[in-house]
Structure 1
Amino acid sequence: METSGGGIQASLGGRYASALFGLARDAKTIDQVEASLATVRDAIAQSDDLRALTTSPMVSREGAVKAVLATADSLGIDATTKNFLGVLAHNRRLGQLPQIVRGFRELASRHRGETTAEVTSAHPLADDQVIELKQQLRQRVGRDVNVDLSVDPQLLGGLVVRIGSQMIDSSIRTRLNALAGAMKG
């Protein structure tokens, strides 16, 4: 199995991501699993019920497995990812999904020789904004960068960009929190 560096495998979510990546690589389904994980991540962000399913200790193990498999079917998730979600639910590890998705994306990008930036914005970015962002990131990193876009209305405005372990936070929420902290002190 391809080594993934100390960073990813150091966490529980990273170990699950590495295991899923190994399965996907062997089955030659890396792209499908990556797309399925993005679909699941977006569904969790948009559904309070699904988010509760992944984080609530009150949901029984059997209930979580049944619900996550039904959700996977309704979202059209590939078989490898669906089975993996069932294992996570059975092991009570659905709360690790954000770290697993991030770790899997990083492994898949590295496997393809790419760099991927996770970009979170308060509102969906227009095509010309995405092109400009990619150009700025290319200048900063020194090579082409794919962007994985997500929306978090709580940011109010601005962007949070994560490339590997590096994070660039220009969100208005962070600026307001820093200002509030400075005014208190």
Structure 2
Amino acid sequence: MSSTIAASSTPERASGLSARYARALYDLADERKQLDQIVSEMAALGALIGDSKDLQRLIASRGIDAAEGTRAMEAVLAAQGFSDLVRHFISVAIANRRLHDLPDLIAGFAAYVAQKRGIMTADVASAHPLTDTQRAQLAARLAEAGYGRVTIRESIDATLLGGLIVKIGSKLYDTSLKSRLQRLRHVMKGAA
């Protein structure tokens, strides 16, 4: 059983443009026997972008020249020690006027890798951050339910009051206090 915590908002499946880029990078990395390294570097790049307002502004800027964008991203990636394959991938995306799509391309790659590896994503909303014990218990319960290889993506929703909402694939498990109170209110209206 594999259980990890994903910090980014990864789509369930890569599609369209991000799927084409993801498939190309995946196949090339696999062919070069660098797949695990590239998966790790792309996740690190996503985290780097998420943590850097300057990188976010660079990516969001649609008026930037492709050569200028390539130079700027190349400088950042080289300084951070990213491999030639990741740096070339980013250069190709920029040359194709896709710098602004970079976060989606990274998320699409993560989704494609998860799909290829048979890993599902469980979106878990809770009123308060989960403890390590709660995460482990949730992973164990998901494994019991037949979801052995799951990545848990957490979000906080204070309106839930307590409990969890877990969405995995097309299934939704709602044990939140908010929904229990709504069901109780509905029953009481029916009884009146």
Q: Matches of residues 103-182 of structure 1 in structure 2 within 5 Å? A: 103-117=108-122, 126-140=131-145, 142-147=146-151
Structure with larger Rg: 2
- The one-letter amino acid of 1:103's match is G
Root-mean-square deviation over aligned CA pairs:
3.5
Give yes or no for the alignment of 1:13 onto 2:18. yes
Structure scoring higher RCO (CA < 8 A, sep ≥ 6) equals 2
Q: Percent identity?
A: 31
Give, in angstroms, the shift of residue 148 of structure 1. 6.2
The 1:69/1:112 distance shift into structure 2, 3 A limit, reads: same
| Alignment check: 8 A CA contact 1:68 1:89 kept | no
Q: Hey, which of these two has a bigger chunk of helix by percent?
A: 1
- The one-letter amino acid of 1:143's match is Y
Partner residue, 1:3: none
Match 1:40 to one of 21, 45, 50: 45
Give yes or no for the alignment of 1:74 onto 2:93. no
| Alignment check: 8 A CA contact 2:122 2:151 kept | yes
Cα distance in structure 2, aligned partners of 1:124 and 1:73: 35
Give, in angstroms, the shift of residue 80 of structure 1. 1.2
| Alignment check: 8 A CA contact 1:18 1:103 kept | no
- TM-score, normalised via structure 1 length: 0.67
Which structure 2 segments of 5+ residues have no match? 1-12, 180-192
Cα distance in structure 2, aligned partners of 1:87 and 1:146: 32
Give yes or no for the alignment of 1:31 onto 2:55. no
| Alignment check: 8 A CA contact 1:13 1:103 kept | yes
Give, in angstroms, the shift of residue 143 of structure 1. 2.6
Q: Partner of 1:147: helix, strand, or coil?
A: strand
| Alignment check: 8 A CA contact 1:117 1:148 kept | yes
Q: 1:101-126: per-residue Cα shift (whole Å, max 9, x none)? A: 23322332333343344779999754
Which structure 1 segments of 5+ residues have no match? 1-6, 176-185
- TM-score, normalised via structure 2 length: 0.64
